[in-house]
Structure formats: structure tokens, C-alpha cells
Amino acid sequence: MSVADDLRELSLGRAAVYVVLLLVGAFYLAPLESGLMTAIKTQDAFFSSTPFVPPFGDGFTLEPWYEAWAQMQGPLSDFSGALYNSAFVAIPATVLSGLIGSVAAYGLTNLKWRGQAGVLMLFVAGMFVPYQSVLVPLTRFWTIVGLQNYLAAVPFLQSRVGLIELVVTHTAYGIPICTILFRSYYANFDESMLEAARIDGATFTRIYRRIIFPLSKPMFAVVLIYQFTQVWNDFLFALVLVSSPTNEVATIALNKLQGSMVQQYNVQMAAAFIAALPTLLVYVLFGEQFAEGVAGES
């Protein structure tokens, strides 16, 4: 066999690989593509064509996006709307559970004290309690607490009491997984580095602030992305805890679109994309650190 034959065989093999890759890629992207095509079609075009075929001529419209935006959010300047409410819940819940998880992991990993193992067990156990099983106790809990009475002095917060309950609930629910993630990261820290800091005169809080925290950036990216996606996409807690229609979060608003008399598939699809956009944005923003954190570099 000549070199040319070798090359031909090689390129044939490569071509086959690419064809397979393309097919697999198309298979995975098909639902997304169909959704996007549906969102830019008129209702008539949707009914007269297959979902994944792009719209032609009169069939093309951006109207569903305007309508979806109006229903999901409305004007941004109002400080209300479902997307705004979702952000109001997701951002504090993510940041809080990340911070608390990080501090807890530091205390459970890098400091030595009696009963540590038991406390860690409790944290881990928290991860295995399913959402559904706590729904009733959770609503009872918030009824007994009566948060709105405490917030009477601040009308801005009082009117959003359901959202604040969501923030606290999601923070609590996020702490175990955040703690475990940070713990595995901190366990790989060089112990003598922390000892050096102790000898250098730093207290344990100063060690956290000046050494542990700055070195945790990659893991914070992981936790922020994961936790933000969890909270943003949560439907169950929001459904149970939020009663006022002005406090609807994105997942609830999305669900309501489906409930109307006439199914507007294009508007539903556009709304779904709008609701998914923030999580995508967070991933793009923290993607690099995310990769670093997952790879376990410190």
C-alpha cells in the first residue's frame, strides 16, 4: 500500500467520524432548534408546518417574544414582574448558601473540634431530604413564624414576603450541597499553609478572610452556577410559598401561560427561552472559573 492509500483510508475514516458526530449533534439540538423555530413563527405557520422547519415569508414574526416578555416581566423599571422576582430570590439565595456553605466547610474541614463528625453527618443528611416531603411542614413553619408581621415596618419587603420566605428556604436547602462541595475543595489545601498563617499571628476568622476565601474563587463559581440554576428553575417551593400574584416567579409565570384557553405555542416557547436566558448568562460569566473549580485546581 502506498502513502496515498493510507491517507485516503484515513480521511475516509475521519469523514465517517464527522458524519456520526454531526448526526448526534443534530439529535441533541433538535428540541432546542424546534423550540426556537416555533418561537419565531406565527400561530398559523406553526399549525401548517413541522416544528423544526424554519418559517418562510409571512410565517416569520417576533411578536411572540414581545408578548412573552410582556407577560413574564413587563417594563423593567417597575421593580416587579416574574423575572425580576426570580432574580430577587435567586441572587440572595445563591450568594447566601454559597457563603454559609464555605464558612461551614472551613469549620468542618480545617478546624479541629469535638463532635465535628456528627455535625457533618447532619449536613450530609440534609441533602437527602426530598423537596416533596417537606412541603407541608414548610408551609406550617412559615405560617407559625408569620414573617409578614416582622416586616410591617418595611412595606417594600412586606409586600414580597413570599419571596423572602423562598430566599430563606432555598438558602437552607442549598447549604448542605454547598458545604460538601467546599469541603472537598478545602480538604486538598496544604495544611502547612494554614499552620503557617496561624504561626504568622492570624486568628481563625482572619485566616478565612485572607487565605481561605480568596483561594475559594473557582469553587464559588461552581457553587454559584449550580445553586443559581437550582433556585431559578425551582417550581415546587415557589408554587407552595408564593400566594400573591404580584410575587410570581418566572417558573410560575411560565406555567400560567400554558393554562390559558388558547394554546399559544409560539409565545410559550419564546417565554421558555426568556426564562432560561439568565441561567445561561451566569454560566457564560463564570464558565472559566467553573472549569477550574471542577478540575480541582487551587
Partner 1 sequence: MAELTLDNVTKVFDDNGSDIVAVDDVSIDIADGEFLVLVGPSGCGKSTTLRMIAGLETISGGEIRLDGDVVNGKPPRDRDIAMVFQSYALYPHMTVKQNMSFGLEESTDMSDGEISSLVTETAEMLSISPLLERKPGELSGGQQQRVALGRAIVRDPKVFLMDEPLSNLDAKLRSQMRTELQRLQEDLGVTTVYVTHDQTEAMTMGDRIAILNDGVLQQVATPLEAYHQPANLFVAGFVGEPSMNFFEMEVRDGRLVGDQFDYPLSEETLAAVGDADRVTLGIRPEDVQLVDEGSGDHDFGTVVDVVEPMGNENNVYLGFATDGPADFVATIDGMRTLEAGQPVVARIPESAIHLFDTETGAALRNRSLDELEETEPNL
List residues near partner 1 by CB under 8 A.
190, 192-193, 195-203, 206, 210-211, 214-215, 298
Q: CA-to-CA distance for 125 and 276, rounded, in angstroms?
A: 30
Q: In this complex, which beta carbon is closest to partner 1, that of residue 14 or of residue 209?
A: 209
For the bound state, the minimum distance from the C-beta of residue 217 to partner 1, rounded and expressed in Å, comes to: 9
Q: In this complex, which beta carbon is closest to partner 1, that of residue 63 or of residue 292?
A: 292
For the bound state, the minimum distance from the C-beta of residue 192 to partner 1, rounded and expressed in Å, comes to: 4
Q: In this complex, which beta carbon is closest to partner 1, that of residue 25 or of residue 296?
A: 296
Question: Do residues 265 and 46 lie in contact, with contact meaning Cβ atoms separated by under 8 Å?
Answer: yes
Question: Do residues 237 and 131 lie in contact, with contact meaning Cβ atoms separated by under 8 Å?
Answer: yes
User: Where are the alpha helices (H) located in 110-199, listed in sequence order?
Assistant: 116-126, 131-145, 147-150, 155-158, 161-186, 191-199
Backbone phi, psi, residue 49, to 5°? -135, 165
32-36 long-range CB contacts below 8 Å, 24 or more apart? 35/269, 35/272, 35/273, 36/269, 36/273
**Measured on CA atoms in the order 292, 295, 296, 298, is the torsion positive or negative?**
negative
And the C-alpha cell for 270?
A: 419564546
Q: In this complex, which beta carbon is closest to partner 1, that of residue 216 or of residue 266?
A: 216
Q: CA-to-CA distance for 228 and 166, rounded, in angstroms?
A: 13
Q: In this complex, which beta carbon is closest to partner 1, that of residue 189 or of residue 235?
A: 189
For the bound state, the minimum distance from the C-beta of residue 212 to partner 1, rounded and expressed in Å, comes to: 10
For the bound state, the minimum distance from the C-beta of residue 215 to partner 1, rounded and expressed in Å, comes to: 6
For the bound state, the minimum distance from the C-beta of residue 277 to partner 1, rounded and expressed in Å, comes to: 33
What is the separation, in whole angstroms, between the first and last Cα of the chain?
Answer: 51
Q: In this complex, which beta carbon is closest to partner 1, that of residue 8 or of residue 206?
A: 206
DSSP per position, 186-254: HTTS-HHHHHHHHHTT--HHHHIIIIIHHHTHHHHHHHHHHHHHHHHH--HHHHHH--SGGG--HHHHH
Q: In this complex, which beta carbon is closest to partner 1, that of residue 26 or of residue 196?
A: 196
A 10 A CB-CB count for 198 gives: 12
For the bound state, the minimum distance from the C-beta of residue 204 to partner 1, rounded and expressed in Å, comes to: 10
For the bound state, the minimum distance from the C-beta of residue 228 to partner 1, rounded and expressed in Å, comes to: 24
